[in-house]
Amino acid sequence: MEPNLVWEVIEHSPRKRRYHSAQRECISLFDISSVQKAAESINLNAFRHAVPEKSILITLNDGSVCLFEANDVSEAKKIIHGLRWIEARLTFNIIVGNVHVCSEMLSMSDQRGISELTSELMMEVTDQLVEKSRDK
C-alpha cells in the first residue's frame, strides 16, 4: 500500500466535439523525485506542444518525467505548491510516526465507508517509504 497521485486521461473526440475519460493513471507519491514548473526545466524537448508557463513537470526516481498542464499560470503554481506540501507533510509524519496525521492523509475506503489507518497499515506504508528511499 502506498499513497498515489491519481488522474484521469481525457481524450477529445473532434468528430463528436466531446471529451471523455479514457483511463486512470497513477504515480506513487514515494516515486516522485521533484515537482517543478516546466518553464524552469530543460526537459521540455520531449513535450513540444506544452505551454511552459502553465505546465508542471514531475520527475520520478527512475528518471522518467510526467508533464501536466494547468488551466493557467496561477493554477500551475498552486498545484506545484500543493504537491510539494503534501509530499513534505506526509513524509515527515511517516518518519516521526505521527499516526493521527497519517491516518488523516491516508484514510482508506472500504465497502462500509472510510476506515482509519491501523498500526499494521502504518508499518506497511513506512516500509514502502524506506524501501523507495533505499532504491534511490
Q: State the DSSP code for 122.
A: H
Predicted confidence at residue 122, as pLDDT, reads 72
Coil, strand or helix at 108? strand
Q: Which residue has the cell 473532434?
A: 14
| Amino acid at the residue 68 | F
> Span 5-34, mean pLDDT?
79
Indicate whether 39 pLDDT > 60: yes
- Residue 109 pLDDT exceeds 60: no
pLDDT > 80? residue 136: no
pLDDT at 115 over 90: no
Instruction: Express as a percent the part of the chain with pLDDT over 90.
Output: 22
Cell of 81: 505548491
Architecture field, domain 4-135: Roll (2.30)
What is the tens place of the pLDDT at every residue in 46-95? 787 888 889 999 999 898 989 999 999 999 999 999 999 988 988 888 88
Residue ranges of the domains in the chain?
4-135
Which residue in this structure is represented by grid cell 511552459? 52
Residues 105 and 3 sit within 8 Å (Cβ to Cβ)? yes
Q: Which of 2, 7, 38, 39 is nearest to 22 (CA)?
A: 7
Section 28-33 average pLDDT? 89
- The pTM of the whole model exceeds 0.95: no
The per-residue pLDDT of the chain, averaged, comes to 80
- Cβ of 3: how many Cβ atoms within 10 Å? 19
| Beta carbons within 8 Å of 32's beta carbon, 6+ residues apart | 5, 58, 59, 60, 61, 83, 87
Q: Are 34 and 11 in contact (CB under 8 A)?
A: no
